[in-house]
Amino acid sequence: MTGKPAHRPAQIILPGAYPQMLSRADAARAMRTLRAPETAARAAQAMESSKPALREAVLALVTGMEQAGTDAARVHEAVREIRGLAETAGLTSTGRIAEVLCRYLDDMARIGQPPDGTIAALHVSAIARAARAEKDDARMGDTVAAELAALVSRKLADARGG
């Protein structure tokens, strides 16, 4: 037989009618395993052991972000990745500052305005310094992130005309 197979309409499966992937006993056993303190301890250990590799990935992204210069699209792409990885890598301050920049770039794109190069450069510099710091100073990072967020808020208000 040659040709295309006959087109069949989509089959609608009601939410309660999905086939079960685990029996009730297996599901209960899986939930006990997931809730066990040993599982949490192993997960924490795995996360801790992955921090050096994640930190290296963040540093590579920071270098790429810096090399992007005034290319807002490349900066935005890098800062999104940094935001997603930084806290898991133990770089909390880096992640908070990246979040502020990411929101700023998103908001400026949403209102159809180009981002202010000076504001972006300040954020890029702060992200780079925080990522390369020997120790994450959460208090200082919070202060820097708050000040940059206030600056961004004022700039967005100006860009929106109010």
Higher-confidence position of 13 and 67: 67
Domain ranges of the chain: 51-159
* CA proximity to 140, closest of 105, 106, 78, 91: 91
Average pLDDT, whole number, for the chain? 88
Pick from 66-80, 96-110, 140-154: least confident: 140-154
Q: What is the mean pLDDT of residues 3-30?
A: 81
- Are 144 and 126 within 8 A, CB to CB? yes
* 6 or 116, which is more confident: 116
Asked whether the predicted pLDDT for residue 128 surpasses 60, the reply is: yes
- Whole-angstrom distance, CA of residue 47 vs CA of residue 64: 25
Rounded Cα gap, residues 52 and 27, in angstroms: 35
Give me the mean pLDDT over the 84-89 stretch. 92
Helix/strand/coil percentages in the chain, nearest 5: 75, 0, 25
Class of domain 51-159: mainly alpha
Give the CA count within 13 Å in the CB-facing half-sphere of 103: 15
How much is the average pLDDT of 53-59? Answer: 95
Is pLDDT at 154 greater than 90 in this prediction? no
φ and ψ of 89, to 5 deg: -80, 0
H-helix or E-strand containing 42? helix 37-67
First to last CA, the chain: 69
Predicted TM-score (pTM) above 0.85: no
Q: Compute the average pLDDT of residues 93-108.
A: 93
pLDDT recorded at residue 4? 66
Helix axes 72-86, 37-67, angle to 10 degrees: 160
